[in-house]
Amino acid sequence: AQKITQTQPGMFVQEKEAVTLDCTYDTSDQSYGLFWYKQPSSGEMIFLIYQGSYDEQNATEGRYSLNFQKARKSANLVISASQLGDSAMYFCAMWYNQGGKLIFGQGTELSVKP
Partner 1 sequence: EAGVTQSPTHLIKTRGQQVTLRCSPISGHTSVYWYQQALGLGLQFLLWYDEGEERNRGNFPPRFSGRQFPNYSSELNVNALELEDSALYLCASSLTGVHYEQYFGPGTRLTVT
Q: Rule CB under 8 A: which residues touch partner 1?
A: 4, 33, 35, 37, 42-47, 50, 91, 93, 95, 99-107
In order, the DSSP letters of 43-78 are: ---EEEEEEETT--SPPEETTEEEEEETTTTEEEEE
Integer CA distances (angstroms), 73 to 15, 62, 111, in order: 29, 24, 26
Q: How far is the CB of 9 from partner 1 (least distance, A)?
A: 9
109: number of Cβ within 10 Å: 14
Residue 14: CB minimum distance to partner 1, A: 26
Minimum Å gap between C-beta 70 and partner 1 is: 17
Closest to partner 1 by CB, 16 or 101: 101
Using the minimum distance from each CB to partner 1, give the nearer residue, 45 or 78: 45
In the bound state with partner 1, the residue whose beta carbon lies nearer, of 51 and 82, is 51
Q: Could you give the CA distance from residue 8 to residue 103 in angstroms, rounded to a whole number?
A: 17
